[in-house]
Structure 1
Amino acid sequence: QETRNAIYSGPFVTAARKEFSNKEDSRLQKWGCYIHGSANRQEILETALKWVSRNNIEEYMQEHRLDDNINELRMYFNDVISWIEQTFDDVYPKMCGLDWGELYERFHNNPYDHVDVSRKVAELYNDDRVKDTKNVFEYVLGGCKDTKLLNVRVFDDITKRRVYDRQTKDAKEKGVSNCPLCAIGHDANKEKIWKLSEMDADHVKAWSKGGPTDESNCQMLCKTHNRAKGNR
């Protein structure tokens, strides 16, 4: 950011540095909950510019180089910080460094119950099946739909093999497909026996709806049906 400040030096940069690069500013502790870096290395300013410019910092600085105020930059930054604080009751370590500007753009118009949001975040943080807790916030803001964000612990190969063998044995005895959804269909796959490599492990009751990741809640589906089932 120091290089950019030199290239686009002028009243805008002077005012921006005064606002975001003062290491004695009492607001730094609050900002530090959500932003990596320090004021004296211009990293807070860089983040503020990234947010307001939608990642087009150079273009934004060129456009505003001769401005004698930073009203838009200050207002947008404060709006993002206020939105985070109003949406989440607690501060979590993995909040720091997320692209809050991008999340703000996507979600700030959605109505949220901060109590409900914080409850869901706490539950996911304490769920040992969730591998990527840094994505918990985006997952909750998005309505708890995209479980791929969380990298949820999946069924292991031994479990998948056992379930596959059991389903296949039962299917052959009944003369139907070993994919339960194919078996109740009306197309050519109604009696198809899929190979293990052609199937995916699926939560019978979706993980996001409380379904456990254990053998009792596992079924093997053909890849087409597993993709179609999604998070239902």
Structure 2
Amino acid sequence: MVSDDQIAGVPLNDQELLNAVYSGPFVTAARKVFSNSGNTNVQKWENYIRGNVKRQDYLATALDWVSQGNIREYMAAHRHDEGITELQNYFNSVIAWAETLFYTEEPHFRGVAWGRLYETYHNTPYDHDKIHARLAELLADEAVRKKECIPEYLLGGEVEPQLLEIRLFDDSTKRSAYERQTQEAKAYGVSNCPACAFGEGKNKERIWSLKDMDADHITAWSKGGTTTSDNCQMLCKTHNRQKGNR
């Protein structure tokens, strides 16, 4: 039998090793459910879990969720249990909750921290139709680079677009906007930063260099603005930071 000393320094997600360390009726029962490729539920589970059933990845995920990351402590405490009711019920609750809100075969959602999201948000009421509609929009939006973070973004009320790593304007679009604004600014004797031009500060007539300006969504992406040339403007770095997501 493997001893605790032999797993010192080994990551807790090395589930095969942990199964050996805490072998007993609990592990036997858990493997029959979560390490069984013949389990008909696996096809549903694989939409939300990354890994391989036979390599213990599904069991590791179930244990991680119910223990909130304390897998070894949980296995030690339940080592001699004959059943896995708590483990199975919690796992099924997380999957059912995720499936209700984010039913999809989208591969990006495999491996999302569903257990953490469940603990944080499962008591919060949501408009399921709205969630489903926004989910479809965001999955289709080419500006969203981290689609695996869409669930957390939606559950959190769409206030952290940085989670999605929205695609920025490319260099060609930025230069085109810069040249257009600069030409117009010089013709009117104002700054090529619209915010400076409309203000009353010392930079009201300043022509900024391209390197001192940032591309900005005229209409914020989170409010429906697209990452396209017609929604791009250049602002001086100070005003771009001040604008934020407004």
TM over 0.5: yes
- SS for the counterpart of 1:221 is strand
Q: Which range moved further: 21-30 or 180-189?
A: 180-189
Q: Percent identity over the alignment?
A: 57
- Matched residue, 2:30: 16
Deviation at 1:197, TM superposition (A): 1.5
State the one-letter code of the partner of 1:21.
S
* Equivalent pair of 1:87/1:113 in contact (CA under 8 Å): no
> Are positions 1:147 and 2:166 aligned together?
no
> Are positions 1:71 and 2:92 aligned together?
no
TM-score of the aligned structures, taking structure 1 as reference length: 0.85
Counterpart-to-counterpart distance in 2, 1:66 and 1:165: 72
* Equivalent pair of 2:22/2:76 in contact (CA under 8 Å): yes
- Matched residue, 1:182: 196
- The list of structure 1 runs, each at least 4 consecutive aligned residues, that deviate by more than 6 angstroms after superposition, is none
> How much is the aligned-residue C-alpha RMSD, in angstroms?
2.5
Counterpart-to-counterpart distance in 1, 2:177 and 2:102: 40
Cα gap change, 1:3 to 1:138, in 2 (>3 Å) = same
Counterpart-to-counterpart distance in 2, 1:88 and 1:196: 42
State the one-letter code of the partner of 1:211.
G
Counterpart-to-counterpart distance in 2, 1:199 and 1:83: 44
Counterpart-to-counterpart distance in 2, 1:103 and 1:97: 12
- Matched residue, 1:88: 102
Of 195, 205, 212, the residue aligned with 2:209 is: 195
Cα gap change, 1:90 to 1:174, in 2 (>3 Å) = same
Of 208, 222, 226, the residue aligned with 1:212 is: 226
> Are positions 1:4 and 2:18 aligned together?
yes
> Are positions 1:166 and 2:195 aligned together?
no
State the one-letter code of the partner of 2:148.
K
Cα gap change, 1:186 to 1:64, in 2 (>3 Å) = farther
- SS for the counterpart of 2:26 is helix
Q: Which range moved further: 139-148 or 5-14?
A: 139-148
Paired residues, number: 232
Runs of 5+ unmatched residues, structure 1: none
Deviation by residue 1:79-107 (Cα, 9 ceiling, x = unmatched) = 11010122134432322222211222333
> Are positions 1:131 and 2:145 aligned together?
yes
Deviation at 1:65, TM superposition (A): 2.9
Deviation at 1:53, TM superposition (A): 2.3
Of 110, 121, 124, the residue aligned with 2:124 is: 110
- Matched residue, 1:37: 51
* Equivalent pair of 2:50/2:111 in contact (CA under 8 Å): yes
State the one-letter code of the partner of 2:52.
S
Cα gap change, 1:9 to 1:189, in 2 (>3 Å) = farther
Cα gap change, 1:143 to 1:5, in 2 (>3 Å) = same
Cα gap change, 1:103 to 1:174, in 2 (>3 Å) = same
